[in-house]
Every structure is written in structure tokens, then in C-alpha cells.
Amino acid sequence: MGSGKRGLLAAAVTVVCAVTVLAGAGTAFASVPSEPSAPPPASGSPSPTLPGSPAPSTTPTPAPDKDLQKIRKRLDRLYHEAAVATDAYNAAEEKAEKQSARVDDLNERIAEGRRKLKRLKDQAGAAARAQYRNGGLPPTARFLLSDDPQQFADSAATILNGERATRKLLTEMARTQKELQADSDDAAARMKKLEDDREDKAAAKKKIKKRIADAELVESGLEKKEKERLAELERQAAHAAQTAWVDTGVLDGISDKTSAEGRKAVAFATAQLGKPYVWGAEGPDSFDCSGLTSQAWAAAGRPIPRTSQEQWRRLPHVAVKDMRPGDLIIYFDDATHVAMYAGDGKIIHAPRPGRTVTVTGAGTMPILGVVRPNG
């Protein structure tokens, strides 16, 4: 064979070998001839890593924003339901405390009424016995048998006075018995109401714990990066809501001047910044939303209702354009959240479980209205 043909053949062999090597590269690099082949991986086991290939990622892909937005809305709903139950719990607790105090007062009145009735019965019995001893004979016979007509007349007058006193005692006894019965009936009705309030309180407590546990379960299923992104989405939503609220011009012309009581209330609320939210708490180490506002105004010398719903119902309403520091802003259609206006478009509030007393924009939540405790 000539040198030219030999060179062409050699080149062809080289190309064929190269193609063969490339086609079997996976098999060639995956096994070592001197060692037995490894068994195939079990179902669910990770595939072996090829030499020189990047290691498979062990970090789950974070949920996309649209999924995190759904989670955010679900958490908002769960915490709102917990807030509704918290208001119901606080209202039931307040009612139970009042009913319990009223029952205690009635029990004291009942005990005193029984003591009074016993005294009256003793007095009536003594008067009846005395009257019986002195009035056994008819008046004419006693007059004829008496050696001293004047003494008889005095005795007759005494008996008459005794009869009048006895009738008065009997009237007082009847009135005391009637009052005693009324107090007993009232106490029984209030005890029934007290038990109902305690049952309402227990049911609300159970619901609060369930909603918070559900929310915590949702949050515990998130990766660290997802939690960070979720927090960022919450901040973005709050910023957008505050910006939209301010852009309406609602703060134009609002004065940050307030009353002395309002300044005291704001100062109290400010001093609580950083303390944790705990449902049903009203200080000194933790607060819920209405616990913070009610205690702030109590510190200012103006006691107000305990719950946000009662604060909305019973306190004087003012227009948003007329609000001033110390006023309370009520949120959501069901009045289940309350915050203290601190001026400059900001509020101080206890947001929800897992958060602390903080300062944020007044327009970050849907406003129902504004009330003024010292209006």
C-alpha cells in the first residue's frame, strides 16, 4: 500500500475511534475496569454524581412571589380571626369581672338581709310575748280590778304603743323578706350570666389558640429565604397602602397639637415600644392592641373601654381630618384592631402575635374611623 493510502486509512481509523470514544464516554467515565460495577440506586435515592459534574443542589427552590402572596393573605386572615376572637375574649372577661363583683355585692346584701330579718323576728317575738303577758284580760276587767286608774291608763297606753311597734316590726319584716328574695333571685340570674360569660371566654380562648397555631404552622413550613421574602412583601404592601393613603391629601392641614391628656397617653404608648404582643394582655410586660390603648389612656387619667369594639361604640367619633395625637384609630369593618395616633401620619400599636409594639404608618390598614377618649 502506498504511503498516501496508508495515511488516509490511518486518518479514517482515528475518526472512527474518536466517535466511538465520544459515544461511550458516559459508560467509560462511570466505571473502573478493576472494580465491580455498583448496583443501581434504590428508588428515591439520589443518582450518582459524575466526576467533574457539579453536585446536585440541596436547597429547595423558593416559592414564587404569587405563592408567597397567597400565604401572606392566608396569614392575614388567620391573624384577623385571632384578633376577632381576642376581642370576644376580652369582652367576655370584662363582663365576667363585672358580674362577679356584682354577685359578691349581692351576697353581702343577702347576708346582711338575713341578719336584719333575724333581729326583726327576735324583736317581734319579744313584743308579742310582752303584749300577751300584759294584755291577757279585757280592758274593762283590768280597769275594775286596778287599784290605781292612772296606772291602768299608763299601762294601756304602753300596750297600745307596743301594738303599734309590733305592727311596724311586722311591716319591716315583710319588706326585708321581699328585698331578700329579690336579691337572691338577682344573684341567681347573675351567676347564670357569669357562667355564660366564662363559657364564652373559654370558647374564644380556644379559637384564639387554634388560629395562632394554624398561622405558626404555615410560617414554620417556610424556608429562611421565603420568610425574608414574605417579610419584604409585607413591607411593600404596607408602604403602598400608606403612600396611597397619604396621596389622598388626608393629612393636609392636620395639626399635631394635642391635649395634655393626649400627650400623656402617647408618652405611655411610646414607652411600651418593643414589648411583645400577647392576646388578652394589658401590661405591664406585654399588650394586645386594645390593652395598649386602654392602659395608655388610664395612665393619662381617663379610663376607657377595654376592647376595640367598645372603644368604637362608646367613645366620641371625630373626622380623620380633625384627628390629633392621642386619638384612637379603629381598623377593619368589624372594629377588631385599634392603634394610637402619634402624629405625622404615624401610629403606635401592638400588631399581632409574634410582633412587638411598634410605630408604623396610619394608613397601612383599612381605617374604620377615629375616636377621641377625652372628646
Q: Which residues are catalytic?
A: 289, 337, 349
**Helical segments of the chain, H only:** 3-23, 25-30, 65-134, 139-145, 149-220, 224-247, 260-271, 289-299, 308-314
Cell numbers 377615629 correspond to what residue? 370
Give Cβ neighbours of residue 41 (< 8 Å, ≥ 6 apart): 47, 48
Which of 317, 292, 318, 316 has the alpha carbon at shortest distance from 306? Answer: 292
Nearest-5° Cα angle at 79, 202 to 332: 100
Q: How far is CA 106 from CA 25, 92, 93, 152, 187, in A?
A: 95, 21, 20, 49, 6
Q: What are phi and psi of 282, to 5 degrees?
A: -135, 40
Which of 278, 352, 330 has the alpha carbon at shortest distance from 78? Answer: 352
Q: Which three cell numbers stand for residue 348?
A: 403606635
Q: What 8-state DSSP symbol labels residue 258?
A: -
Cell numbers 428515591 correspond to what residue? 44
Q: What is the DSSP secondary-structure string of 144-156?
A: HH-S-HHHHHHHH
